[in-house]
Amino acid sequence: MSSSSETLRALYGTWRLARGDTQGLGFFNFSIEGFWRSFMAAAIVFPAFAMLRWNDIFDAPDDFPAMRYMLVEVIAYVIKWVAFPLIMFHVIPMLGRAERYIAFITVYNWASVLQMGLYLAALMLGVLFPSLGAGGFVFIAVIATLVYGVYIAKLTLSVPIPTASTIVLADFLLSLVITSIGIRLAVGQLF
């Protein structure tokens, strides 16, 4: 199977899972090669990520270190994509689910494409309906992506909802910490 057809199948699988259809799991490649190819999702999501980060500095003061900020954000982006799978590589065996690690990370990675799409849609709704406030749409999108992540963890790891929720919350908090450190490094105020 070509990379492009595998990508399309995986994205279709994420869509089916988002609709609550567990048959969506049948569209993923759970081989070791499929696991590594699932990190292509990072490349698919990256343009939207870069656009959002660039938008963050659009109204920044003239002396704001924009290029340094962007460089640090790109490095933080890569760290986020590597850190969570590495942590889960050690955590999932402690849960007695080592054989499900590849399936979990594969689906979780591909799901990030759909999650970014939802986040962008929420931002667009905020622009189209400014009186309703962009923050409300984004908040709903963040909650929806967290719930979706819990569903994926529960389904692929076959763990109870509290365990799946803890895993997704750990990813969310890890992302916040990495982002926070990255921003502080970018503006030269780590300590």
Note whether 170 and 88 are within 8 A (CB): no
Predicted pLDDT at 42: 96
- The pTM score is 0.90
Predicted pLDDT at 92: 97
Residues of the chain short of pLDDT 70, as ranges, are: 1, 132, 134, 189-191
